[in-house]
Structure 1
Amino acid sequence: MKKLFLLSVAILGFAFTSNAQSISENAIGLRLGDSDGFGAEVSYQRAIGDINRLEFDLGWRDGSNFSGFKLAGLYQWVFPLDGSFHWYVGAGGGIGSFKNDLPNGRTATDTFFFAAGDIGIEYNFEIPLLISLDFRPEIGFGDDVYDNDDLDFDIALSVRYQF
């Protein structure tokens, strides 16, 4: 009976540890991509539970007739796929500001708020490196100078150092 009990505890322990997900406490890196032109963001992730984390991104945007910055914050749920592969989904929002070069040679500025969703896939390497690809639809609310009241589809590749 004692052997059966120990075997049951060992099997249950193995099952729980093999299904346990590990997301790093902290990760910092770059998120590269955008739908309106090339964009780069400094990205920071902070775990707040076994499957939850916060992500903060400070980005610069540059296009043919505009430049600006954007600060985003997202709450994410992370789920295992296979081994070191995970997928995640999240929601959040942020604030941004753009300078738009108008056709008549003048410039206009726009500050806006936005709501965002997030879905992506990531691979956690054995070394402290995390690479991910995500899709972030955003809807902006602001002045009509830059037409931020539209839906924007942001796709990006991220590389982060985990610590």
Structure 2
Amino acid sequence: MKKLFLLSLTILGFAFTTSAQNISENAIGLRLGGSDGLGPEVSYQRAITNNNRAEFDLGWRSARDFDGFKLTGLYQWVWLLDGDFNWYAGVGGGLASYDYNNNAFGYDNDDTFVFAAGNIGVEYSFDFPLQLSLDFRPEIGFGEDYYDNNDVDFDVALGVRYQF
């Protein structure tokens, strides 16, 4: 059993080191998805090592009846798929707040909540400084109204970022 465990650790370590991919030092752009009704998010990625990075996203919406923001922070691991294609997975969380007030229907609601998030996706880096990504982010929130009964929310988004 001990030999099997050591062999598994060796293979896993080899897989992680052989698939390491140099990622851009910085990337900034938009993450275009549902963002729980808060619209597109401004997205910033910062490399930590050759295959790890931090991502920060800020979504906000301001309209006649609705105001809100959502701030997300993620730690991501990046692996080479093929050529300029990478896949990544990460964990993190965030903070959000909204205020919905529709006087015509007598509806007034506001909430501030925190949430935990996972993240998995694929990305392509072009020869020029453009990165496209498609990711899936499940979230579980802890607030009074928005996440009743600790429901899981699923967010799918397309990312367009300038790399520098």
Could you tell me the TM-score, scaled by structure 2's length?
A: 0.79
Partner of 1:55: 55
Q: CA deviation at 1:121?
A: 0.2
Between the aligned partners of 1:43 and 1:97, the Cα distance in structure 2 is 18
- Displaced runs of 4 or more, over 6 A: none
Between the aligned partners of 1:129 and 1:38, the Cα distance in structure 2 is 25
Partner of 1:123: 124
Partner of 1:160: 161
User: Is the Cα contact below 8 Å between 1:80 and 1:86 reproduced in 2?
Assistant: yes
Between the aligned partners of 2:20 and 2:94, the Cα distance in structure 1 is 32
Q: CA deviation at 1:147?
A: 3.5
Q: CA deviation at 1:106?
A: 3.3
In 2 relative to 1, CA 74–60 (structure 1 residues): closer, same or farther, beyond 3 Å? same
In 2 relative to 1, CA 60–35 (structure 1 residues): closer, same or farther, beyond 3 Å? closer
Any stretches of 5+ residues in structure 2 without a counterpart? 1-17
User: Is the Cα contact below 8 Å between 2:134 and 2:159 reproduced in 1?
Assistant: yes
Greater share of helix: 2
Between the aligned partners of 1:49 and 1:58, the Cα distance in structure 2 is 23
Q: CA deviation at 1:98?
A: 1.4
User: Is the Cα contact below 8 Å between 1:46 and 1:53 reproduced in 2?
Assistant: yes
Partner of 2:6: none
Deviation per CA, 1:78-132, whole angstroms, max 9, x where unpaired? 0000000000000000000012346842322100000000000000000000000
| Higher mean C-alpha displacement, 112-121 vs 149-158 | 149-158
Any stretches of 5+ residues in structure 1 without a counterpart? 1-17
Higher Rg of the two aligned structures: 1
Between the aligned partners of 1:32 and 1:126, the Cα distance in structure 2 is 22
In 2 relative to 1, CA 20–76 (structure 1 residues): closer, same or farther, beyond 3 Å? closer
Between the aligned partners of 2:67 and 2:154, the Cα distance in structure 1 is 18
Q: Does the residue aligned with 1:134 lie in a helix, a strand or coil? A: strand
Identity within the alignment, %: 66
* C-alpha RMSD of the superposition: 2.3
User: Is the Cα contact below 8 Å between 2:59 and 2:71 reproduced in 1?
Assistant: yes
| Higher mean C-alpha displacement, 100-109 vs 78-87 | 100-109
Partner of 1:97: 97
Deviation per CA, 1:119-155, whole angstroms, max 9, x where unpaired? 00000000000000000000110112x3453110000
